């Protein structure tokens, strides 16, 4: 029988690689000791959670309360919808200015890339706190937060879609003397459109989810009602609100999924 030389099952691990693996493992174990829930804590917490759930049941179905929740949910939707719409409109020119090879600003386009990164890396609750401080409690602060959130998300992915747009058509139009703006409208945007619509739908989905929690810091919407319910120990109200949130997020995901399927 011919002796076969089999390929090794594993690649050789270098000394450096082994050291890094050990270090990462140690870091996880040490950190877990500091912050992970101990068995004791879990054991203590569980009855308390059960007690809380018990006090939440049954959810409040009082007509007057549900009407208030309905209007708050409507407000949440409005924050998400208006914030996303305005954010999408502002994202387009920002993405154009930030997209490498498409921007008319050359290397200064990086300034807009940095701006978009800033919008994205600061968490939405922090933006909401800033806007509540600036324009006061209520839905306007929430809408401003969603606008910034949407620009942070769409600004980046719109720019990437524009960078990936077919170069040959752009070159053909440039040869005929088309301006950068004409090339953007005629070739770059049509080519990037399917990807941008997809991104826009994701942005809307994310906006609904984040507009739900913005109320926790006073930026309008259903979150405000949830915070009041917890603060006043009205757990039956809280459970009704949580159910309502669950339903709207589910509906939103279903709708955007269907829209995406429709477009493809």
Partner 1 sequence: MVSMEQDSIIRTSGFAKSYAPGVPVLRDLDIEIRPRERIALIGANGTGKSTLLKCLIGLLPGSDGTVSALGETFSGSPSKAQLRRIRLQIGFVFQHHGLVRQLSVLSNVTHGMLGYPGSWRAAIQVMAPAEWRIRAMEALSAVNLEAKALERADALSGGQQQRVAIARALIRRPRLMIADEPAASLDPSAGRDVMTVFSRLASEQGITLLYTSHDMEHAVSYSDRIIALKDGRVHFDQASSSVSQSMLSEVFDG
| Contact between 198 and partner 1 per CB under 8 A | no
CB of 172 to partner 1, least distance (A): 3
The answer to whether 127 and 211 have CB atoms below 8 angstroms apart is no
Radius of gyration of the chain (CA): 25
| Contact between 177 and partner 1 per CB under 8 A | yes
| Contact between 242 and partner 1 per CB under 8 A | no
Pick the closer one to partner 1 by CB: 27 or 172: 172
Query: What three-state secondary structure class fits 12?
Result: coil
CB of 174 to partner 1, least distance (A): 9
State how far the Cα of 129 lies from the Cα of 132, in Å rounded to an integer: 5
The answer to whether 59 and 240 have CB atoms below 8 angstroms apart is yes
Pick the closer one to partner 1 by CB: 165 or 245: 165
Give the total of residues touching partner 1 (CB under 8 A): 21
| Contact between 171 and partner 1 per CB under 8 A | yes
Query: Of 76-84, 103-111, 189-197, 218-226, which part binds partner 1 (CB under 8 A)?
Result: 189-197
**The two three-digit tokens of residue 145, written as one number:** 């937060």
| Contact between 164 and partner 1 per CB under 8 A | no
Pick the closer one to partner 1 by CB: 140 or 178: 178
| Contact between 263 and partner 1 per CB under 8 A | no
**The two three-digit tokens of residue 262, written as one number:** 């429709």
Sole residue written with tokens 């139009």: 173
Pick the closer one to partner 1 by CB: 124 or 191: 191
| Contact between 178 and partner 1 per CB under 8 A | yes
Pick the closer one to partner 1 by CB: 130 or 178: 178
Residue by residue, DSSP assigns 183-236 as HIIIIIHHHHHHHHHHHHHHHHHHHHHHHHHHGGGTSSSHHHHHHHHHHTT-HH
State how far the Cα of 26 lies from the Cα of 30, in Å rounded to an integer: 6
| Binding footprint of partner 1 on the chain (CB under 8 A) | 166, 168-169, 171-173, 175-179, 181-183, 185-187, 190-191, 193-194
């Amino acid at each position: 029988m011919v002796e076969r030389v089999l390929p090794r099952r594993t690649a050789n691990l270098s000394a450096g690689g082994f050291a890094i693996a050990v270090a990462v493992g140690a870091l996880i174990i040490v950190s877990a000791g500091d912050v992970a829930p101990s068995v004791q804590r879990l054991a203590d917490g569980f009855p308390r959670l059960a007690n809380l759930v018990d006090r939440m049941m049954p959810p409040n179905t009082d007509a007057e309360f549900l009407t208030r929740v309905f209007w708050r949910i409507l407000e949440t939707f409005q924050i998400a919808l208006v914030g996303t719409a305005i954010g999408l409109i502002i994202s387009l020119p920002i993405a154009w200015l930030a997209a490498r090879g498409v921007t008319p600003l050359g290397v200064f386009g990086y300034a807009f890339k940095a701006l978009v990164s800033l919008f994205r890396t600061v968490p939405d609750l922090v933006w909401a706190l800033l806007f509540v401080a600036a324009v006061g409690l209520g839905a306007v602060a929430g809408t401003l937060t969603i606008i910034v959130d949407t620009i942070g998300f769409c600004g980046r992915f719109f720019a990437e879609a524009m960078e990936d747009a077919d170069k040959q058509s752009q070159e053909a139009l440039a040869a005929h003397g088309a301006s950068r703006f004409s090339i953007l409208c005629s070739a770059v945007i049509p080519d990037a459109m399917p990807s941008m619509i997809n991104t826009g739908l994701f942005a809307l989905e994310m906006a609904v989810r984040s507009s739900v929690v913005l109320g926790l810091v006073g930026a309008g919407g259903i979150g405000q009602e949830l915070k009041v319910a917890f603060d006043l120990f009205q757990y039956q109200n809280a459970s009704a609100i949580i159910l309502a949130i669950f339903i709207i997020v589910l509906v939103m995901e279903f709708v955007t999924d269907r829209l995406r399927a429709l477009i493809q």
